[in-house]
């Protein structure tokens, strides 16, 4: 029972790191980015290449994956995404589905279609006994890293000047730019960091979620659930939603394997009917 909770939390934390970038871009620019998973996959494969082929230590590869994915994100944002922000949702959906298809086929071409695993250092394998509970070392590491990241994100959002600019831009872009905040610049930085976080999540999650070219399609729905259920107006909403989803999914697969993913989708639909703005959304004027 506790093990399930533990695994669920690890899974949920991972989902949060993967999806929080999406939550911010969606909330900030009202931009539906279905290709978010592609950045996560990029991070996963970058780590895979670094660790398995070039022998770079796992812990050194993680920051590289973050920076590299953030750079890719920034590049895409500057060259492609900029043109699509002002377009209707339908165009955004089509555009990002197009990107997903391209990334899936491109990765398939370069890396092959089989599922791949990152070689973990031996110190991360196996289990340790923690307060009478056998937990996987790797999952413990994920929880640790993700918790640190969450705290850091919360601090940046709540305590720094950039954070207050970002929050202002999310709440009302027009007024924010009227006050002299460079909303587009804020967004560009956020998009890059969000993509980087997705890449980091993809690198960390390759072991648990699996890494193959269809990754963006398989987990797209999960990211979107986190974002829509959690709401896009804060970072705590998506965080709680990720934990709920993670625990719900692991527990659902353990207790009622017959229904599988059925539980998650049904809960999502019910939540969205009940509160279309998300479970933890503030009631804003918009």
Partner 1 sequence: MAQPLTEGISRYLAHRASWHPLEIAFWALALASVFFLPNKHLILTEIAILALFALSLDLILGYSGIISLGHAAFFGFGGYVAGLLAKHNIVAEPVLALLVSGLAALILGFVTSFLVLRGSDLTRLMVTLGVSLVLREIANQMDWLTGGADGLQGITMSPILGMFAFDIAGHVAYVYCLIVLFLLFLLARRIVNSPFGLSLLSLKGNPLRASAVGISVNGRLVAIYTVSAGYAGLAGALLTQTTQFCSLDVFSFERSADVLLALTIGGIGYLYGGIVGSVLFKLMQDYLANLTPQYWQFWIGLVLVILVLVGRERMASWSAPLRTLLARIGPRAGRPVEATRPSPAEGP
**Which positions touch partner 1 (CB under 8 A)?**
26, 32, 80, 83-84, 87, 89-95, 97-106, 108-109, 113, 217, 220-221, 224-225, 228, 258-262, 265-266, 268-269, 272-273, 276-277
Q: Is the CB of 120 or the CB of 263 nearer to partner 1?
A: 263
- Residues making up the chain, counted from first to last: 286
- Tell me if 229 sits within 8 A of 272, measured CB to CB: yes
Smallest gap, in angstroms, from Cβ of residue 118 to partner 1? Answer: 24
Q: How remote is the C-alpha of 223 from its chain's centroid? A: 6
Nearest-angstrom CA–CA distance, 217 and 105? 12
Q: Is the CB of 136 or the CB of 252 nearer to partner 1?
A: 252
The owner of tokens 């955004």 is 92
Smallest gap, in angstroms, from Cβ of residue 46 to partner 1? Answer: 20
Q: Is the CB of 80 or the CB of 151 nearer to partner 1?
A: 80
- What 3-state DSSP class applies to 94? helix
Smallest gap, in angstroms, from Cβ of residue 53 to partner 1? Answer: 22
Helical H runs in 119-182? 137-159, 161-171, 173-178
Half-sphere exposure of 14 (CA within 13 A, CB side): 30
Smallest gap, in angstroms, from Cβ of residue 183 to partner 1? Answer: 20
Q: Is the CB of 59 or the CB of 259 nearer to partner 1?
A: 259
Joined tokens for residue 252: 């659902």
Sequence-ordered list of residues with C-beta below 8 angstroms from that of 7, at least 6 positions apart, any chain: 136, 139, 250
Smallest gap, in angstroms, from Cβ of residue 210 to partner 1? Answer: 18
- Tell me if 228 sits within 8 A of 272, measured CB to CB: yes
Q: Is the CB of 47 or the CB of 103 nearer to partner 1?
A: 103
């Amino acid at each position: 029972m506790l093990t399930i909770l533990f695994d669920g939390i690890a899974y949920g934390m991972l989902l949060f790191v993967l999806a929080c970038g999406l939550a911010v871009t969606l909330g900030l620019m009202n931009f539906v980015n279905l290709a978010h998973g592609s950045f996560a996959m990029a991070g996963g494969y970058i780590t895979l290449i670094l660790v398995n082929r070039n022998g770079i230590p796992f812990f050194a590869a993680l920051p590289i994956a973050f920076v590299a994915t953030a750079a890719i994100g920034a590049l895409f944002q500057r060259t492609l995404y900029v043109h699509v922000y002002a377009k209707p949702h339908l165009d955004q959906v089509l555009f990002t589905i197009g990107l997903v298809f391209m990334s899936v086929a491109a990765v398939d071409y370069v890396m092959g279609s089989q599922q791949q695993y990152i070689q973990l250092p031996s110190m991360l394998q196996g289990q340790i006994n923690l307060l009478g509970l056998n937990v996987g070392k790797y999952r413990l590491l994920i929880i640790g890293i993700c918790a640190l990241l969450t705290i850091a994100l919360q601090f940046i959002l709540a305590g720094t000047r950039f954070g207050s600019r970002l929050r202002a831009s999310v709440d009302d872009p027009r007024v924010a730019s009227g006050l002299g905040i460079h909303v587009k610049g804020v967004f560009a930085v956020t998009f890059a960091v969000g993509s980087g976080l997705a890449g980091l999540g993809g690198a960390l999650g390759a072991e648990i979620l699996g890494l193959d070219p269809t990754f963006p399609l398989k987990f797209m729905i999960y990211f979107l659930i986190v974002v829509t259920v959690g709401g896009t107006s804060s970072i705590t909403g998506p965080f709680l939603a990720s934990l709920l989803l993670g625990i719900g999914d692991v527990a659902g697969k353990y207790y009622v394997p017959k229904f599988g993913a059925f539980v998650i989708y049904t809960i999502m639909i019910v939540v969205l009917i009940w509160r279309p703005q998300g479970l933890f959304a503030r009631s804003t004027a918009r």
